Structure 1
Amino acid sequence: MKEEKIKLEIAGMTCDHCATGIKKMLSQNEGVKEANVSYPKATCECSFDPTKTSKEEIINTINGTKNYRVKSEISENGNSRNNQFDLIIIGGGSAAFSAAIKAESLGLTTLMVNGGLDFGGTCVNVGCVPSKNLIRAGESAYHATHSNFEGIKPKGVDIDFAQIIKDKKKLVATLQEKKYMDVVSDFENLTMLKGWAKFKDNKTILVDGKEYKAFKFLIAAGATTNIPTIEGLDKIDYLTNVSLFDLEEKPESLTIMGAGYIGLEIAMAYNRLGVKVRIIEFTDRVLRTQTPDISEALETQMRKEGIEILPNFRAVKFEKQGNETIIHCKCPDGSFTQIIEKGKVVIATGTKANTSQLGLDNIGLELTKSGHIAVNEKMETNLPNIYAAGDVTNTPAFVYTAAFEGKIAVENAFSGTDNKADYSSLPWVVFTDPQIAGAGLDEAQAESKGIPFEVSKLELKDVPRAIAANDTRGFIKLIRNSETDKLIGARVVAPEGGELIQQLSMAIKYRITVKDLADSFYPYLTLGEGIKLAAITFGKDVSKLSCCAS
């Protein structure tokens, strides 16, 4: 009979009784021939029959307890194996860092392998942070040239575009350091490695030709811009948000391909910073995932600010002529036209999961039709030792959901918990002006689910705060279950409307009724008072109520 041995470093033992308990537990495995566990040395030495059990089964038995964790496997010379880890995280963004923080608290030896973007991932490097910084810069410029009050005449603004981009880069570098690298700088069990990971099998990855093994894996590789297959596109030196945000020379103009939230935020920010902007959208309206009234409100403001929007236009060919780009488009009526872009073309046609280089075919990991990794509510994949989180999966693509998923994935993998992601009340915001915010279901989604519902829609012209500010763009829309009166969804279109959505998200989560919302106190002359008025609107005409009336 062949016999193998394994020596493990164990975290969590507090006395000799712990060691005795682990030994007794392992002895219940008929494949384990002998188990010697030492509390003072924090080690476990096992000899076992590999035909009846395995290293992984022994380790998983220990990790399946509430208090004990295998920190590492110790080699024959007494050193921890430098290529064997409890957890390997593939990716370096929000989900990855959240997972690493949880893993450190559990005493797990962890390897984080990150290729592509710098550590910190999309949000801090090329997503949330730079885009919202540029949006705020654009707002400052806009308010210096536009006033809602006849008695105030703005004098104009001088825009140092290069300085704005330099300041943005400085902010990104600062937050990348403080919120990511500094956070894990003193972690004892974390190893960080730059490179591209590829699965050799479901227990091994290759990075630059070197093998690394783990008992569990978390794929948190993120997503990147989905570049459409259009003739000539690869010949025109197009931009994405990754390259656009670092461009210090202000482009003469931009043609943005795509009218999703990324394209719209870019359009408003750069238009307000003095760049002529055009949007080409192959569907019938901007922000096509939302109901038409939201699209209409946003399009009205964007066109008012001089942004050209071409719905139902489909680019079929790109070509370069000197310094100009010729965009051949199919028009809504079926005819064809040529659009001349003297500046830059920006691709904002959605994202795709970063899975193509991971060698997933080698391990049989299941993907969705869109190419994302299929996970359940626990972040489990179809392979028992592999989890996934963040934009690489088929879950909502937000930095805060990614962080949550990374945390619960590690908890579920190593702590025996059963934590689930419930996004039924998830709040989200599109940072245009007016902002678009939502939580729960809209009316179209409620109808598709067969839920009996009613809609209350309050225009901002009936909200005292908006009236006093001379800015009545937008509305507040509440969707309730008409049988239970419970709030099931909300949409807000308003300046700074995103500040309202968390309250509405909590109301949905905790099954608050519309009557509760209507009967609550709200400070007068706040935008939040609009929630109360929208709730009242289910049964009354608020335009006929006095101020503060209910």
Structure 2
Amino acid sequence: MTQLKITGMTCDSCAAHLKGALEKVPGVQSALVSYPKGTAKLATLPGTSSDALTAAVAGLGYQATLADAPPTDNRAGLLDKVRGWKGAADKHIGNERLLQVAVIGSGGAAMAAALKAVEQGAHVTLIERGTIGGTCVNIGCVPSKIMIRAAHIAHLRRESPFDGGVEATVPAIDRSKLLAQQQARVDELRHAKYEGILDGNSAITVLHGEARFKDDQSLVVRLNEGGERVVMFDRCLVATGGSPAVPPIPGLKDSPYWTSTEALVSDAIPERLAVIGSSVVALELAQAFARLGSKVTALARNTLCFREDPAIGEAVTAAFRAEGIEVLENTQASQVAHVDGEFVLTTGHGELRADKLLIATGRAPNTRSLALEAAGVVVNAQGAIVIDKGMRTSNPNIYAAGDCTDQPQFVYVAAAAGTRAAINMTGGDAALDLTAMPAVVFTDPQIATVGYSEAKAHHDGFETDSRTLTLDNVPRAVVNFDARGFIKLVAQARTGRLIGVQAVAPDAGELIQSAALAIRAGMTVHDLADQLFPYLTMVEGLKLAAQTFTKDLSQLSCCAG
């Protein structure tokens, strides 16, 4: 890094002219020129001539000295040296230098931030070390939901509440064809929503390589095609996402275990699958593989969904066991061995044998290779970047969003955070309010939550009044002959204001947004009970649950208002 002190600049346009001239000097990789500070920070190759740098500045009528040298007037003797590379200095955009924004990553947070920053008038350099699009479209949300849907169709052909009148059949599963269909849709969406957009936006420069911080205003990018490039920035967004976390179980590291990444692209369905984990990814994939033909055993260190309202875990466990999924609660593997193509797990309840082992115990932030300490960016004990509601890190020029931070790990949260980060990086003031953040687990029945659980509300000092409505009271569930699950409303005791909803129900993900809007609007359960809901919809269960605060549903007609 070379730094110059520059005198004579009168505006940001001067800085833009100087940036162009300096970047034409042989050996200069990039330049960041600041009119307010009167400085130029340069990424240079070894041997770059300091005389050439000062000559480039002098050629435009300004004066430059090395930051650690006394000022001298070099203009007269250096003008001839600069003539060979001065021309580009006259080529500049508008009257002000564009804000230079670096974005590390290309997933939901990164893309939202890049597009918003360009919209706000910045130039963006987006850096991606792997496949454009990040986790969600490539190896997360999109392929998993395709697989889950295929498994749901297979399940309905094999078994449904209408088997007495609609003959059931055992489906023939061709995993290779399902996988080809899944990957084709992933490729299509990646191109439409990521690659195509980036290719068509001239204000975004894409670098394929791995970035690390050199200091608080520059990155070193190790390019995938070889070599390195230094990227200077005014503002930087870290949006590097997360990766599957792997627990330190003896023997696991040396075995060919799966994470969700490998499971989703497996071209075969294992006869026996063991799943270690008890939350979102573990539940979704355990049920999907079971419905596609695997004998699945799920090992939960505590209970399923142990961080949620206990009723959620109980309902999902019952649904899984009814489908033949073995759920081992309060069970941990103390040793993993892979012998003769078979996994052997040692547990407190004896040995468990399986053909494949899926580890789904959460995700860890991708921050270790970033050299965040060089930029003064603070992380927590788990390695996640600590941010405020405006996505600012401990360094005022560096922001972060998505799964690499301490935010909830949902792609829609990441995208919203990326947009707000871009607004703030370009001079705005936007915050991300997560008080009414909906969440969905795509099991069957689905799990959907928003706002406070009863336990969390009590922890935060709220007195609550709650009601739980079983689905045998919801007409849609009754006519579907599928009354698995419940809807629970949590309200403030004194005011009746709705502060939380938990649901386990078919299509619970489709009803939870109505609950989120009600919480956001400050509605009471009495307000909710008074709303019009279309009859024979699952979302009508919100109204019915709200009515139980004041009425006995057994004494109402089926669509009583």
TM-score bracket, shorter-length normalisation: 0.7 to 0.9
Letter in 2 for 1:248: D
The answer to whether residue 208 in structure 2 is matched with residue 202 in structure 1 is: no
Shift of 1:235: 1.4
Superposed, which structure 2 residues align to 1:263-342 within 5 Å?
A: 263-283=282-302, 285-331=303-349, 337-341=350-354
The residue correspondences of 1:113-152 to structure 2 (distance < 5 A) are: 113-116=127-130, 118-149=131-162, 150-152=164-166
% identical aligned pairs: 38
Residues 138-179 of structure 1 show CA distances to partners (whole Å, capped at 9, x for unaligned) of: 010000011213333312212111111111111111111011
1:162 aligns with 2:173: no
Q: Which residue pairs with 2:195 in the alignment?
A: 181
Maintained 8 Å contact 2:386/2:393: yes
Whether the 8 Å CA contact 1:31–1:49 is kept in 2: the answer is no
1:374-406 Cα deviation digits (max 9, x unpaired): 000000000010000011111111111111111
In 2 relative to 1, CA 289–46 (structure 1 residues): closer, same or farther, beyond 3 Å? farther
Aligned mate of 1:474, from 481, 485, 489: 485
Alpha-carbon distance in structure 2 between the residues aligned to 1:189 and 1:548? 55
- Partner Cα distance (1:187, 1:497) in 2: 38
Alignment of 1:407 with 2:419, yes or no, is: yes
1:395-433 CA-to-partner distances (Å, cap 9, x unmatched) read: 11111111111111111011x221000000011110000
Q: How many residues align?
A: 489
Letter aligned with residue 276 of structure 1: K
Deviations 1:341-390 (A, max 9, x none): 2x111110111000011011222211122221000000000001000001
Distance 2:545 2:195 in 1: 44
SS state of the match for residue 346, structure 1? Answer: strand
Is the 2:465–2:491 Cα contact (8 Å) retained in structure 1?
yes
Larger CA deviation: 518-527 vs 171-180:
518-527
Matched, 1:422 2:467: no
Asked if 1:436 is matched to 2:447, the reply is: yes
Corresponding residue for residue 30 of structure 2: none
TM-score by length of 1: 0.85
Structure 1 48/385 Cα, relative in aligned 2: closer, same or farther at 3 Å?
A: farther
Q: How many Å separate the matches in 2 of 1:30 and 1:466?
A: 66
Structure 1 SS opposite 2:199: coil
How many angstroms apart in 2 are the aligned matches of 1:430 and 1:412? Answer: 32
Q: Are the structure 2 counterparts of residues 31 and 127 from structure 1 closer, same or farther at C-alpha, using a change threshold of 3 Å? A: closer
* CA-CA distance at 1:442 after TM superposition: 0.9
Residue 107 of structure 1: how far off its partner (Å): 2.8
| Residue 261 of structure 1: aligned partner | 280
Taking a change above 3 Å as real, the CA distance of residues 211 and 536 of structure 1, as seen in their structure-2 partners, is: same
Partner of 2:377 in structure 1? 365
Tell me which of 355, 366, 373 is aligned to 1:354. Answer: 366
Is the Cα contact below 8 Å between 2:445 and 2:484 reproduced in 1? yes
Structure 1 residue matching 2:532: 3-state secondary structure = coil
Would you say the 8 A contact 2:6–2:38 is kept in 1? no
- Take 2:319 and 2:374, find their aligned partners in 1: how far apart are those partners? 50
- 527, 530, 551: which one aligns with 1:516: 527
Cα contact 1:437–1:492 (8 A) shared by 2: yes
CA drift of 1:76 comes to: 4.6
Residue 453 of structure 1 pairs with residue 464 of structure 2: yes
Q: Provide the rounded CA distance (Å) in 1 between the counterparts of 2:504 and 2:63.
A: 64
Shift in Å, 1:267: 0.6
1:330 CA displacement? 3.0
Greater shift, 253-262 or 100-109, is seen at: 100-109
2-structure distance, mates of 1:190, 1:168: 29
Instruction: Show the counterpart of 1:17.
Output: none
SS in 1 for 2:351: strand
Q: Counterparts in 2 of 1:44-59, with a 5 A limit? A: 47=62
- 1:21-51 Cα offsets, whole Å, 9 max, x none, are xxxxx99x6969xxxxxxxxxxxx8958889
1:345 to 357, 369, 378: 357
Q: CA deviation at 1:85?
A: 7.2
Q: Deviations over 1:225-276 (max 9, x none)?
A: 0111121112111111111111112222211111111000001111101111
The secondary structure found in structure 2 opposite 1:224 is strand
Residues in 2 aligned to 1:9 and 1:256: alpha-carbon distance in whole angstroms: 60
Residue deviations 1:441-461, cap 9 Å, x none?
Answer: 010111101112110111100
- Is it true that 1:494 corresponds to 2:505 in the alignment? yes
Q: Report the alpha carbon displacement of residue 539 of structure 1 after superposing the two structures with TM.
A: 1.5
Greater shift after overlay, 350-359 or 188-197?
A: 188-197
Q: 1: distance between equivalents of 2:290 and 2:517?
A: 35
- Structure 1: 5+ residue runs without aligned partners? 11-25, 33-44, 53-74, 332-336
- CA–CA distance in 2 between the matches of 1:367 and 1:259? 26
| Range with bigger deviation, 181-190 or 86-95 | 181-190
Tell me the secondary structure at the aligned position of residue 306 of structure 2: coil
CA distance in 1, matches of 2:221, 2:61: 30
* SS of equivalent to 1:183: helix
Cα distance in 2 for residues equivalent to 1:9 and 1:456: 67
Q: Distance in 2 between matches of 1:309 and 1:46?
A: 76
TM-score, normalised via structure 2 length: 0.83
Alignment match, 1:78: 88
Q: Secondary structure at the match of 1:392?
A: coil
Q: Is the partner of 2:337 in helix, strand or coil?
A: strand
**Given that residues 327 and 339 in structure 1 are in contact (C-alpha distance below 8 angstroms), is that contact kept between their aligned partners in structure 2?**
yes
> Secondary structure of 1:412's partner?
helix
